[in-house]
Amino acid sequence: MENTGGLRRGTWTPEEDKLLKACIEKYGEGNWHLVSERAGLNRCRKSCRLRWLNYLNPNINRESFSKDEVDLIKRLHELLGNKWSLIAGRLPGRTSNDVKNYWYTHLKKKVVSEEDDEEEDEEKEKKEKKKLKETMTFHEVIKPRPLYLSSNFGKQPVMASNPDTETVRVPNQIANCSSASQPNLGNVPIPSEMWSESLWHMGEDVNATCSSLQENNYQEFPNVDNSFWDSNHGDFYNLWDP
């Protein structure tokens, strides 16, 4: 696995690591197309970039995954799917490659077998429900209507001096986002994966879907003016009708 087409491939030697590290320390990250030449390495830009991002970068946490981290990976994977870089972005010191490898080697089998168990449970539950349905009497159920975030929420500052205000809880994934080029809730930008169809929907009004509201992971914004909220705009039927 070496010298294919003139460029070295395969496992990095300590000498190569030293050269790459010295080069990044001198010139900084980026401009990967220049790195191999600057460092005096016979490696392609991709190889250099990957070696730095996945191994040499001093910010990388090389300890084994903690229980909390594993738990977070599971929950984020459920929420985002195979968006390894996004998941890794929520785990300080972890790279997307680390997270991906950990998922495929430790978690995937576990989660799949858990899902199989869940399917069995669901099947049982369905049968029981069917049985129950055959014997029960029907009552009218009045469904509560959800609050929608009004379109004002994205156009006005979040903090309000009006004493007639209340605290709004915003999911941490949104509250912690720092990009300034995307749509936002007040002064808090929304990452694209949050306002895409599966999680957040942008239309006349901004509303939150079940999946984002279910997360017990909120940050509080005190004293939000009531005008941010439009009530009784519609129903979350999918909350009630499986």
Q: Of 3-11, 163-171, 208-216, 234-242, which segment contacts DNA by CB under 7 A?
A: 3-11
The mark string for 81-120 relative to DNA (x by CB under 7 A, - otherwise) is -xxxxx---------xxx-xxx-xxx--------------
Closest CA to 105 of 48, 64, 52: 64
Identify the DSSP state of 166. E
Which of 101, 187 has the CB closer to DNA? 101
Q: CB atoms < 10 A from the CB of 167, how many?
A: 9
Q: How far is the CB of 87 from DNA (least distance, A)?
A: 8
Q: What is the DSSP pairing of strand 206-208 with strand 200-202?
A: antiparallel
State the minimum distance, in angstroms, from the CB of residue 222 to DNA.
Answer: 33
For DNA, the closer of residues 85 and 196 by Cβ is 85
Residue number, 50 or 175, with CB nearest to DNA: 50
Of 130, 32, 91, 202, nearest to 190 by C-alpha is 202
**Judged by CB under 7 A, does residue 77 bind DNA?**
no
Residue 157 CB, shortest distance to DNA, in Å, is 28
CB of 107 to DNA, least distance (A): 10
Phi, psi of 240 (to 5 degrees): -110, -30
CA distance 168 to 166: 6
- Minimum CB–partner distance for residue 194 and DNA (Å): 15
Q: How far is the CB of 186 from DNA (least distance, A)?
A: 24
**Closest CB to DNA among residues 16, 230:** 16
Q: Which of residues 5-44 bind DNA (CB under 7 A)?
A: 8-12, 30-33
Burial of 99 (0-12, 13-18, 19+ CB in 10 A): buried
Size of the site for DNA (CB under 7 A): 33
Q: Which residue type, as a one-letter code, is found at position 75? A: R
Non-local (6+) Cβ contacts of 145 within 8 A are 231, 232, 233, 234, 235
Give the number of other Cβ atoms within 10 Å of residue 148's Cβ.
19
Pick one of 22, 27, 46, 114: the residue that binds DNA (CB under 7 A).
Answer: 46
The footprint of DNA (CB under 7 A) covers 1, 4, 8-12, 30-33, 45-47, 49-51, 54-55, 82-86, 96-98, 100-102, 104-106
